[in-house]
Amino acid sequence: MHTDASGYGFLLLFGYGLGAVVGAIALLGTLVARRWTLALAVLGVGMAGAAAYAALLLAVSLASRSEVLAPGVEKHLCEMDCHLAYMVVGVRTAPTLGSGDSAVRSRGAFWVVTVQARFDETTMGPRRPLDAPMYGGPRTVEVVDDRGRRYAPTNVARLALPDTGGACLAPAHPLLPGATCAATLVFDLPPDAAAPRLLLANADPIAAFIVGHEMSFWHRRSYFALNPQLLSAVRR
């Protein structure tokens, strides 16, 4: 199990934001009162706080390491008071999808990836009702190859498949505690794309400023390995 360790980072950002608001009010008060020396002191403290936060964000990000999760390993993404766990449960490749007039041909190979989402009830807040659904936030979903090239899911190929449960990864999709759902994603990779890996992460813009969040500035990411043979071995 891999857990997104950004909960404390969010609290730190919240505390810094609250302090910034208090500092801005204090600065405005000193300016209105024409207390220029005090205003400069408040401004200096604010700038020092911003520099310290930026330095901490940079230090934690540069110390992070990229990780590729083995088949069968869940990745937990932190929500407000619980975690949503994701795991790759299926990978296959095909040169074409569909049949007849609806067939779609790949430029190299289609990678059909099935992802399972699970509301981990063991991470719920103690006051959260058991019948209260969780609506996950927006997600970044892309495949990265060994050359760093990025590929978004292709809807054209996905339409050639039966119902793929795409709503499972949508922010509006509800999940009750302990419940799971699955979505199938299709990526069209060129012939020279080697060692593809899947990035599934929070896409909230505020994540870029959270210390320790994998989507913060310069932080390394955690990926899912995409290997049909290894996944088949795990299933057996």
CATH of 67-235, one of 3.90.550.10, 2.60.40.1930, 2.60.40.1240, 3.30.465.10: 2.60.40.1240
Tokens of 116: 């399972």
For residue 163, what pLDDT is reported? Answer: 65
pTM for this entry: 0.84
Alpha helix positions (H), the chain: 7-32, 36-63, 155-158, 228-235
Domains of the chain, by residue range, sit at 67-235
For residue 98, what pLDDT is reported? Answer: 82
Contact 159, 186 (CB under 8 A): no
For residue 230, what pLDDT is reported? Answer: 56
Q: Which amino acid is at 210?
A: I
Contact 141, 199 (CB under 8 A): yes
DSSP H or E run through 3 = strand 2-3
Mean pLDDT by 10 residues, the chain (236 residues): 63 82 88 88 89 92 92 86 88 88 87 92 83 86 95 83 72 87 92 94 90 91 84 49
For residue 4, what pLDDT is reported? Answer: 57
Contact 7, 123 (CB under 8 A): no
Q: Which amino acid is at 70?
A: A
